[in-house]
Amino acid sequence: MSKILAKQVFSYIDKDKNTVISFVCKENYAANLFVREVEKMDLIEVSAKLYKESRSLRQNKMLWGIIEAISMTINGARLSEDIEKIYIDLLKMANVKTVFLGAIPEAKKILEGQFRYVQELPNSMTTEKGVKMVLFKCFIGSSKFDTKEMSELIEVALKYASECGVETSEIESLKGLYD
């Protein structure tokens, strides 16, 4: 189902005394697609919520630029496994968006398919029925971050880059990606 973003909403009463609601959308293609999908339905449920912008493409570009600079400084290369490790380390350091889940130890493999990184915490327990349970800290990847969460992650990445010896001039040029 398509979604639309609207800046304004209006209502009026038609000649049959029905309330008609209209939305003003800038994205013509998305609005037309939405109308084509909805007009085929007999009855629809409509809800609205305040739009919260997800991370920007500039933020994403900057984060991965910082990660590559860190990798070049500490590893001398941008190998995918090095970059992935740095990214996971940054997620752990930033501790921005996590979920805690209690599950049987075997569930870790399933959780790893759903989250960017899964950390098994040391305090396990046994249920009343004798089932061993483990607490997992699951890190959500930055693709699900909003702009505020992404800014927090970038700040941690910049600090880490400085600590790793990435040149100040390079850090400043990376900041330019975000401006």
Tens of pLDDT, residues 40-55: 888 888 888 887 665 6
Same domain, 47 and 66: no
Same domain, 92 and 41: no
Same domain, 36 and 67: no
Mean pLDDT computed over 96-123 = 92
Same domain, 17 and 89: no
Same domain, 46 and 124: no
Same domain, 34 and 64: no
Place of tokens 């919520």: 49
Cα 53-31-51 angle, rounded to 5 deg: 20
Same domain, 79 and 107: yes
How many separate domains does the chain show? 2
pLDDT band at 72 (very low <50, low <70, confident <90, very high): very high
- Would you state the pLDDT for residue 4? 80
Same domain, 66 and 149: yes
Same domain, 46 and 67: no
Query: What is the domain range of residue 76?
Result: 57-175
**Is a pLDDT exceeding 70 seen at residue 176?**
no
Same domain, 140 and 75: yes
Same domain, 99 and 40: no
Same domain, 90 and 170: yes
